């Protein structure tokens, strides 16, 4: 068009492309594109007004002039039958936005945090209200659909994919703000981009390869936790206690994480000896060792950059309450119901040598645990077993799972021990007499029965069938059970 060149699809279908400059791409039907190219730069153009100059290299702006393409897109979306995914709920009604919105401006920023700002200019204020309601309903319906798929998936690949998509979506919705004012609806999202999880969504759909690959990821994660569980058991056996969350200097300043001090139990003695144990984790010497993170501390999805998602739960009403390592006797609940380690959300990842773990408040432990998404988290229990913590289903159980005393955090050890006995071992109320009293009562009863039998015989000529004898095992001085 004049001295400007644009690209047209060979088959004539779809939009044409025009690179206005090295940072601006225009996509439009050919008549609209020709008109735009020939329009002077200082013309009163709506789309140019919506397209301000961006100085930030990490930002991107997309402007959609829906009015110009409404007829063309409507023919496509409202055909019979409509194309997927607009052919059935929950997205079937979303295509109605085409009738309600004239323009859409979407701005993306990727640093310092991921941010999307979408501004929808509706036909009028009433259309804006309908648009806002439609978006809210669609978000709710999509979330419910993804949750249902996550719960009903039986195949390993489908389950992994459903969990990732459901967690990503719920995380986005939770951080999304939506405002309708006059004829404009704005949606803003700020959050951390979980690139590794996003990258999994596409490959997970390629089932034949992904089945083994996904199973491998899950198995590697489980194997890592099992190894750490065994190392913690070895540490307890050698030291008589769990490792403290951090080693401290003479002034009480944290130096190195428990993950460093567990290295000898993980077969990493040589690496452990390279650390300057009297220096903090970020000293010039120790900081250079961050890059040498053992594979056992790194999740398969996390890039090899010295980060780990394996964090202890610390704070009041957890096993790791203070600065000292807890003793195993502190766990009075069943060990299979006491969480000692979380494989947290990627957003919570820390440098593996840094003395940093989860700080959970008793009033709202979920707050300190929740990251960007709400995927079920792998957890290690005190008995070495591996499980999952589901935010949506187990939120009310979390305090009990964190407490070494279980649901009754104030119960004395004896009471907790009694509560954990099998029903077959529990004594009925009528049998709870002290041992000495029970033996004496038994002997008295036997003697009385013998006398009665003797009185009923003639002249004492016939002996009773059973002669009462003292219990050879009776202990007159036996003390009541404690």
Task: Report the pLDDT value the prediction gives residue 434, as an integer from 0 to 100.
Answer: 42
Q: Averaged over 53-80, what is the pLDDT?
A: 73
How many other CB atoms are there within 10 angstroms of residue 68's CB atom?
19
Query: How confident is residue 405, by pLDDT bands cut at 50, 70 and 90?
Result: confident
Query: Which contiguous run of DSSP H or E holds residue 263?
Result: none
Query: How confident is residue 277, by pLDDT bands cut at 50, 70 and 90?
Result: very high
Query: How confident is residue 418, by pLDDT bands cut at 50, 70 and 90?
Result: very low
Task: Give per-residue pLDDT as tens, 344-397.
Answer: 877 788 999 999 999 988 888 887 777 645 567 889 999 999 998 887 678 888
Query: How confident is residue 443, by pLDDT bands cut at 50, 70 and 90?
Result: very low
Task: Report the pLDDT value the prediction gives residue 208, as an integer from 0 to 100.
Answer: 38
Highest mean pLDDT among 84-88, 229-233, 384-388, 425-429: 229-233
Task: Give per-residue pLDDT as tens, 87-128.
Answer: 667 677 777 888 899 999 888 876 656 788 899 999 999 999
427 pLDDT higher than 50: no
Token couple for 350: 């820390």
d(CA 245, CA 256): 9
CB 431 within 8 A of CB 425: no
CB 369 within 8 A of CB 376: no
Task: Give per-residue pLDDT as tens, 123-156.
Answer: 999 999 999 999 998 888 888 887 777 777 666 6
CB 217 within 8 A of CB 322: no
Task: Report the pLDDT value the prediction gives residue 413, as an integer from 0 to 100.
Answer: 32
Which of 339, 346, 340 is closest to 375 using CA atoms?
346
């Amino acid at each position: 068009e004049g001295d400007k060149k644009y690209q047209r699809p060979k088959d004539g279908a779809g939009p044409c492309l025009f690179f206005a400059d090295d940072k601006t791409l225009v996509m439009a039907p050919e008549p609209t594109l020709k008109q735009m190219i020939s329009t002077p730069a200082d013309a009163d153009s709506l789309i140019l007004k919506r397209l301000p100059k961006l100085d930030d290299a990490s930002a991107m702006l997309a402007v959609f002039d829906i009015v110009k393409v409404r007829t063309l897109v409507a023919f496509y979306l409202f055909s019979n039958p409509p194309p997927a995914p607009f052919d059935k709920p929950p997205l079937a009604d979303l295509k109605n936005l085409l009738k309600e919105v004239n323009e859409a401006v979407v701005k993306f920023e990727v640093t310092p945090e991921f941010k999307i700002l979408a501004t929808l200019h509706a036909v009028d204020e009433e259309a804006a209200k309908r648009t806002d309601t439609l978006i809210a309903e669609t978000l709710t319906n999509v979330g419910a659909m993804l949750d249902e798929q996550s719960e009903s998936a039986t195949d390993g690949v489908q389950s992994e994919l459903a969990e990732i998509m459901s967690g990503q979506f719920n995380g986005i919705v939770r951080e999304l703000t939506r405002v309708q004012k006059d004829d404009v609806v704005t949606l803003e999202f700020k959050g951390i981009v979980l690139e590794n999880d996003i990258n999994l969504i596409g490959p997970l759909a390629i089932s034949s390869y992904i089945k083994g690959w996904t199973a491998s990821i899950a198995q590697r994660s489980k194997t890592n936790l099992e190894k750490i569980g065994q190392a913690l058991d070895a540490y307890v056996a050698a030291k008589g206690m769990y490792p403290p969350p951090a080693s401290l200097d003479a002034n009480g300043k944290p130096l190195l994480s428990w993950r460093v001090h567990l290295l000898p139990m993980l077969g990493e003695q040589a690496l452990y000896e390279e650390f300057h144990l009297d220096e903090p984790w970020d000293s010039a010497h120790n900081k250079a060792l961050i890059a040498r993170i053992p594979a056992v501390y790194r999740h398969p999805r996390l890039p090899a950059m010295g980060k780990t998602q394996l964090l202890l739960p610390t704070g009041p009403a957890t096993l790791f309450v203070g600065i000292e390592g807890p003793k195993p006797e502190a766990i009075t609940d069943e060990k299979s119901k006491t969480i000692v380690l979380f494989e947290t959300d990627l957003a919570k990842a820390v440098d593996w040598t840094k003395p940093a773990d989860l700080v959970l408040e008793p009033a709202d432990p979920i707050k300190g645990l929740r990251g960007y998404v709400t995927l079920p988290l792998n957890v290690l229990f005190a008995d070495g077993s591996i499980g999952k913590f589901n935010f949506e289903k187990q939120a009310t159980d979390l305090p009990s799972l964190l407490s070494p005393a279980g649901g009754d955090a104030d119960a004395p050890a004896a009471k907790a021990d009694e509560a954990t006995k099998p029903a077959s071992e529990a004594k009925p109320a009528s049998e709870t007499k002290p041992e000495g009293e029970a033996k004496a009562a038994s002997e008295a009863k036997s003697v009385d029965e013998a006398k009665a039998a003797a009185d009923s015989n003639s002249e004492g000529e016939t002996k009773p069938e059973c002669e009462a004898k003292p219990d050879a095992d009776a202990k007159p001085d036996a003390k009541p059970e404690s």
